[in-house]
Amino acid sequence: MSRPPLAAACAAVLRRDLVLAWRRRGDIAMPVLYALIVATLFPFALGPEEALLQRIAGGVVLVTVLLAMLLALDAMFRGDIEDGSLEQLVLAPQPLALMLGMKILAHWITTALPLIVIAPLLAGMLHLPGAAMSVLLLALLLATPLLSLLGAILVALTAGTRRSGMLLALMLLPLCVPVVIFAAGAVSAAQQGLPWLAPVAWLGAALAMALVLAPLACAAALRIALDA
Amino acid sequence: MTAPPARPALLQARALAFRRQDEPVFGPLDFSVGAGEIALVEGDNGSGKTTLLRILAGLLHVDEGELSWRGEPWQGDAHLGDILFLGHHLGLKGDLSPRENLAVAAGLYGRRDGLAPADALRQIGLAGYEDEPVRRLSAGQKKRAALVRLLLLPATLWLLDEPYANLDRSGIEMVNGLLAQHAARGGAALVTSHGAVSFLDGAPRRIRMHA
Amino acid sequence: MANWIPLWLHKLGSPPIFYRFAGTLRPWALALALLLGMAALYGGLVLAPADYQQGDAYRIIFIHVPSAWMSLFIYGVMALASFIALVWRIKLAEVVAMESAPIGAAFTFVTLVTGSLWGKPMWGTWWTWDARLTSELVLLFLYLGVIGLYHAFEDRRQGARAAAFLALIGIVNVPIVHFSVNWWNTLHQGSTVRILGPSKMSGDMLWPLLTMMAATKFYYIASLFGRVRADLLALESGKDWVRQIAEAEAGR
């Protein structure tokens, strides 16, 4: 018996999830559409005053992206649980944490990356100054993988339950408070011409830690949730 | 390979019992499965056949009793990859073709030498359907698309939950052929069945489940 | 080595023994909680002098501060029990963790309400995004998440294990939230309003506060034991010891 090489297994999982997402391209568009709708509603609610919109632009884009990601989070393992693919993944002679890391990566590529791509458009609609735009993108690049990783743990915990939409939001809120604070803090600091490196560095540090720990926690959570 | 009688059984269970919410699902159970042996797990609905298979696969935590694998106490991930589990849910992605599904499984579990995936798909009876999305296949064809793993993946112990469901006569014969081949190779298998009809050839060893 | 400690703990961990143990202790804890609570309230509301800055408004600290302290303490107990439950799969630890959550959530809620009541005369507003109040709010969400996850599962033991895992994630999260909220506060408000001024607390204010802290502890013990007893009966309903209790109750 020859155990398959780790790289091949990682590639198989990543490839599978990307191909699946591509075959259901419509689903990828949903969070993007949702973010666009939410961001459009703000000027209607608050008035088209440029100064006001400018002030809230960074925060609105961040929260919008967060909500759109939350919308797609539930689907991370649901399909795999329903058709038994997850059992096959758990029983494979591969490190489960790494395999789940690949799934999280695929999920980030298919849900968060499109959101980051349209983030400049959303920010532009809300008149975010150009100087803060690059900081917003940097903050999003660090914050969205962090949210995917943290969210994956929670989704894994709810894997054994039927309804999880609202519960997931309730569970994610305490975890995403620091992420939102630092990401939005960086953008608003950049807008005011203050140094913004510190909050971005905190985000980066948190991401580095989550990259190592979250897949392990996710694997442990999944084992608990599947043990029924 | 020779099989001297002193060789420890592949899988051995002593006083294995399982409770769900303190309700016993199945009582203390003793059995062993050796190399080249096919065992039939019999029992009525709700007698815990699926639960037993899920425990043996390592998906459920053992509450009471002891399990050993190749003479060693059962622990950790040592047995992963040596066991192939086929449950009620087939583990197939509806949007992928049988060929792609098989490629993912082979990527995770590895491949047995000497057989190409395309040949395996042909042998299992999916010729002409290799590239059709699984969701468009019939129930029996889906079953075959899952069973093809038995041909290609290297595993010593097969845990098959209702492998005959949805299969036609030729499919049943094919599964029996696969099991015979596996046993001749020194593999072992646990197969569940409702107990009303046994499709297995010959007189397999029986594990009777009762709550 | 002191061999009797693990043995004693192991015995206490068995549901029927803990059921009896908790049953004997619970009335005492409840009585102590009531006595100490009344003494503390008398001391705090009647005996203690009015604050020279805040007048009588400060007297809410005799509820607010012990509650805030308990909200964190109970989270710690819950996380510890969760850890034990996950590592050693002890049923009693699962029950203690899960039954602590609603009590802790209640204390957190009381902390938020009293904090907000206190805020009205002090800051002129019911709610302010003060670092400590905000952290407390996040703590409430953590508790609610644990409770919600526990009840989302059909299998209660599985739900308890999943929620225990969430509680452990939360204990990592609490300091991070507190740190980030502090940072956010300095960024947005410049200077925070200090709840407790630099003034030292005088002795006749301090003893009611400490007595109340003891009272809340005993209340927690009494409440937890009552809940755990009820839960153990439900979880072990098939066992002999529960049947004996049920028969004894019926025969009375």
Which residues, in sequence order, are CB contacts of A62 under 8 Å at separation 6+? A136, A139, A140, A143, A180, A183, A184, A187
Residues of chain B with Cβ-Cβ distance to A83 below 8 Å are 89-94
At position C138, the amino acid (one-letter code) is V
Alpha helices in chain C (DSSP H): 4-12, 15-42, 61-88, 91-123, 131-152, 156-189, 203-235, 240-251
Confidence band of A228 (pLDDT split at 50, 70, 90): low
Distances (CA, A) of A126 to A59, A82, A113, A137, B163: 11, 41, 20, 15, 58
pLDDT of residue C4: 61
Are residues B137 and B161 both part of a single domain?
A: no
Confidence band of B3 (pLDDT split at 50, 70, 90): very low
Are residues B69 and B14 both part of a single domain?
A: yes
Are residues B148 and B171 both part of a single domain?
A: no
A189 to chain C, any CB pair closer than 8 A? The answer is yes
Residue B2 lies in a domain: no
Confidence band of B38 (pLDDT split at 50, 70, 90): confident
Span B152-160, average pLDDT: 90
Q: How many Å separate Cα A4 from the centre of its chain?
A: 30
Q: Chains meeting A at 3+ CB pairs closer than 8 A?
A: B, C
ipTM: 0.88
B105 to chain A, any CB pair closer than 8 A? The answer is yes
Q: Which domain holds residue B103?
A: 94-154
Please choose, from the candidates B44, B64, B65, B12, the residue with its C-alpha nearest in 3D space to the C-alpha of residue B211: B44
Are residues B171 and B148 both part of a single domain?
A: no
pLDDT of residue B1: 40
Residues of chain B with Cβ-Cβ distance to C89 below 8 Å are 61
- The verdict on a CB contact (< 8 Å) between C155 and B23 is no
Are residues B138 and B194 both part of a single domain?
A: no
Q: How far apart are CA B68 and CA B80, in angstroms?
A: 14
Confidence band of A181 (pLDDT split at 50, 70, 90): very high
Residues of chain B with Cβ-Cβ distance to A82 below 8 Å are 89
Tens digit of each residue's pLDDT (9 = 90 or more) over B166-186: 888 888 888 888 988 898 888
Please choose, from the candidates B62, B110, B117, the residue with its C-alpha nearest in 3D space to the C-alpha of residue B83: B110
Alpha helices in chain B (DSSP H): 49-57, 98-109, 117-123, 139-152, 169-184
Its pTM stands at 0.88
Closest residue, chain C, to B23 (C-alpha): C238
Residue B34 lies in a domain: yes
CATH number of the domain encompassing residue B69? 3.40.50.300
Domain boundary among B130, B154, B178: B154
**Phi, psi (degrees; rounded to nearest 5) at A89:** -70, -40
**B23-33 vs B11-20, strand pairing mode:** antiparallel
Q: Chains meeting B at 3+ CB pairs closer than 8 A?
A: A, C
Span C203-227, average pLDDT: 91
Q: Which of A181, A220, A227 sits opposite C158 (nearest CB)?
A: A227
The shortest C-alpha distance from A161 to chain B (Å) reads 16
Domain count, chain B: 2
Are residues B64 and B168 both part of a single domain?
A: yes
Residues of chain C with Cβ-Cβ distance to B60 below 8 Å are none
Residue B103 lies in a domain: yes
Tens digit of each residue's pLDDT (9 = 90 or more) over B59-109: 888 778 888 888 777 776 667 878 899 988 898 999 999 999 999 999 999
Are residues B104 and B56 both part of a single domain?
A: no
The shortest C-alpha distance from C93 to chain A (Å) reads 16
Domain boundary among B135, B154, B173: B154
Are residues B174 and B77 both part of a single domain?
A: yes
> CB neighbours (10 Å) of residue A27?
14
Q: How far apart are CA C218 and CA C103, in angstroms?
A: 12
pLDDT of residue C238: 77
| Residue ranges of domains in chain C | 40-46+60-191+204-232
Are residues B16 and B77 both part of a single domain?
A: yes
Span A135-147, average pLDDT: 95
Looking at per-residue pLDDT, the higher value among A45 and C128 belongs to A45
Span C28-50, average pLDDT: 89
Are residues B98 and B195 both part of a single domain?
A: no
Domain boundary among B111, B126, B154: B154
| Residue ranges of domains in chain A | 6-226
Span C146-168, average pLDDT: 92
Are residues B163 and B70 both part of a single domain?
A: yes
In the predicted structure, residue B6 carries a pLDDT above the cut 80: no
Closest residue, chain C, to B62 (C-alpha): C89
Which among A140-144, B4-8, C201-205 has the top mean pLDDT? A140-144
Q: How far apart are CA B92 and CA B102, in angstroms?
A: 9
Q: How far apart are CA B178 and CA B26, in angstroms?
A: 29
Q: Which of A174, A217, A221 sits opposite C142 (nearest CB)?
A: A174
Residues A136 and A63 sit within 8 Å (Cβ to Cβ):
no
Distances (CA, A) of B92 to A126, A155, B116, B180, C77: 45, 21, 20, 25, 44
Residues C71 and C101 sit within 8 Å (Cβ to Cβ):
no
DSSP letters, C148-161, are HHHHH-SSHHHHHH
